[in-house]
Amino acid sequence: MKSLIAFSIAALAMVTTAVRADDKLTVGGGPVAEVPQFIVANDRKLWGKAGLDVAVTPFATGREAFEALMGGQLDLAIMAEFPAVVGAMRNQNFSVVAVLSRYKANRIIAKREQALKSVAELAGAQIGVTIGTNSHFMLDEALKAAGVKATIVNVAPPDIVPALGRGDIAAAAPFPSFYAGAKRALAGQYQELIVPAYETTMLLAASSSLIEKRPEALAKFLKALAEGQAVVDSEPAAAQETIARVMGGATNLETIKAAWGDYEFKLTLDQKLADLLLREGKWVRELGMIKNVEPTDAMFRGRLSAAALTSVLPSAVSLP
Please name the helix (run of DSSP H) or strand (run of DSSP E) that holds residue 135, with its range, or none.
helix 134-146
What percent of the chain is helix, strand and coil (3-state, nearest 5)? Answer: 45, 20, 30
Antiparallel, parallel or unpaired: β 200-207 and 94-103:
antiparallel
Mean pLDDT is lowest, of 37-41, 137-141, 250-254, for 250-254
* β-sheet bridge partners, residue 207: 94
Contact 307, 284 (CB under 8 A): no
Predicted local confidence at residue 228, as pLDDT:
97
Predicted local confidence at residue 251, as pLDDT:
78
Predicted local confidence at residue 39, as pLDDT:
94
Nearest to 134 by CA among 301, 295, 293, 279: 279
Predicted local confidence at residue 122, as pLDDT:
97
Beta-sheet strand order (sheet of 200-207):
53-58, 24-29, 76-80, 200-207, 94-103, 263-270, 317-318
Predicted confidence (pLDDT) at residue 12 exceeds the cutoff of 70? no
CA distances from 45 to 57, 68, 301 (A): 16, 24, 33
Predicted local confidence at residue 162, as pLDDT:
97
pTM: 0.91
Mean pLDDT is lowest, of 22-31, 42-51, 171-180, 233-242, for 22-31
Predicted confidence (pLDDT) at residue 305 exceeds the cutoff of 90? yes
| Overall average pLDDT of the 173-182 stretch | 92
* β-sheet bridge partners, residue 107: 194
Contact 279, 285 (CB under 8 A): no
User: In this predicted model, which residue has the larger pLDDT, 146 or 13?
Assistant: 146
Predicted local confidence at residue 2, as pLDDT:
44
Predicted local confidence at residue 146, as pLDDT:
97
Predicted confidence (pLDDT) at residue 6 exceeds the cutoff of 50? no
Predicted confidence (pLDDT) at residue 3 exceeds the cutoff of 50? no
Which residues touch 20 (CB under 8 Å, ≥6 apart)?
none
Nearest to 234 by CA among 203, 265, 261, 204: 265
SS3 82: helix
Predicted local confidence at residue 32, as pLDDT:
76
| Overall average pLDDT of the 11-21 stretch | 51
CA distances from 263 to 34, 199, 312 (A): 8, 9, 23
Q: How many CB atoms lie within 10 A of CB 121?
A: 18
| Overall average pLDDT of the 19-40 stretch | 87
In degrees, rounded to 5, the angle at the alpha carbon of residue 122 between the alpha carbons of residues 120 and 125 is: 150
Domain range summary for the chain, segments of one domain joined by +: 21-103+199-318, 107-194
Fold of 21-103+199-318: D-Maltodextrin-Binding Protein; domain 2 (3.40.190)
Q: What are phi and psi of 301, to 5 degrees?
A: -60, -35
CA distances from 31 to 21, 59, 268, 296, 313 (A): 27, 9, 18, 29, 23
Predicted local confidence at residue 92, as pLDDT:
97
Predicted confidence (pLDDT) at residue 18 exceeds the cutoff of 70? no
Predicted local confidence at residue 11, as pLDDT:
45
CA distances from 160 to 63, 67, 83, 108, 170 (A): 20, 25, 22, 12, 11
Mean pLDDT score across all residues of the chain: 92
Contact 97, 269 (CB under 8 A): yes
Predicted confidence (pLDDT) at residue 1 exceeds the cutoff of 60? no
| Overall average pLDDT of the 96-116 stretch | 96
Q: Could you give the CA distance from residue 8 to residue 32 in angstroms, rounded to a whole number?
A: 8
Predicted confidence (pLDDT) at residue 123 exceeds the cutoff of 90? yes
Predicted local confidence at residue 20, as pLDDT:
76
> Hey, which CATH number is domain 107-194, 3.40.190.10, 1.20.120.430, 3.20.180.10, 3.40.50.150?
3.40.190.10
CATH topology identical between 21-103+199-318 and 107-194: yes
